[in-house]
Amino acid sequence: MATVPSGPLRRTLRTVPLPRYGGGSPSPSQLSRHLRTGADPDLRRRRGIVGLSLLGAGIGQVVGAYQTGILRHLPDPPVGPFDSDRVDASDYAYRRASSPDGLVMVLTYAVTAWLAGAGGQDRARHRPVLPLLMTAEVATDVVTDLALASEEWRENEALCARCQAATAVSVASLARALPEARRAWRQVRSG
């Protein structure tokens, strides 16, 4: 069950307006109905992004569990240049934000899932900032993932199998995000 923020954060979340381009915001019941039962192509792609993001967050949870000592071993595929235990225990994996990188992965995929789930029907027209932010988040993840894979290999001469699966998740999410982002960008440019 989700926890609703309290105090100043709750007031901020309730009062931060998103730019509107006609149409306004859906009511909570309209949003619920649309997200659960809608069938338009953008929503199908958004659902795909949510699902992929949940998969990515799960990957990050497994890696983070290893990096914090909850799990003692990360099995690897029997073929390929994989040594997840060595890679995910190396300096490389703890260098950023003074944190295990698996836990950061959970956060980035959670943000992507939230942005994919935010907004109602035809949000590219009514709330173009949402698909644009979502696509920027996913594109940033792809660029970061590819740079980290290069660094991972350079420093360890091995790869983390789960991290490479997460890169594939990000690439697949970006492919799903682009059509809606193009329409949102056209909406913003047309005024």
Q: What is the pLDDT of residues 47-104, one digit of tens each?
A: 999 999 999 999 999 999 999 999 999 999 999 999 999 999 999 999 988 999 999 9
The terminus-to-terminus CA distance of the chain in angstroms comes to 39
Mean pLDDT of the chain: 90
CATH of the domain at 110: 1.20.1440
In a domain, 8, yes or no: no
**Residue range of the domain that includes 162:** 39-190
The number of domains in the chain is 1
In a domain, 102, yes or no: yes
Give the separation between CA 84 and CA 163, rounded to whole angstroms.
9
In a domain, 135, yes or no: yes
In a domain, 170, yes or no: yes
Enumerate the H helices of 24-157 as residue ranges: 28-37, 41-67, 84-89, 101-117, 123-126, 129-156
Q: Considering the entire predicted model, what is its pTM?
A: 0.86
In a domain, 17, yes or no: no
Supply 93's token pair: 């994996």
Q: What is the pLDDT of residues 157-171, one digit of tens each?
A: 999 999 999 999 999
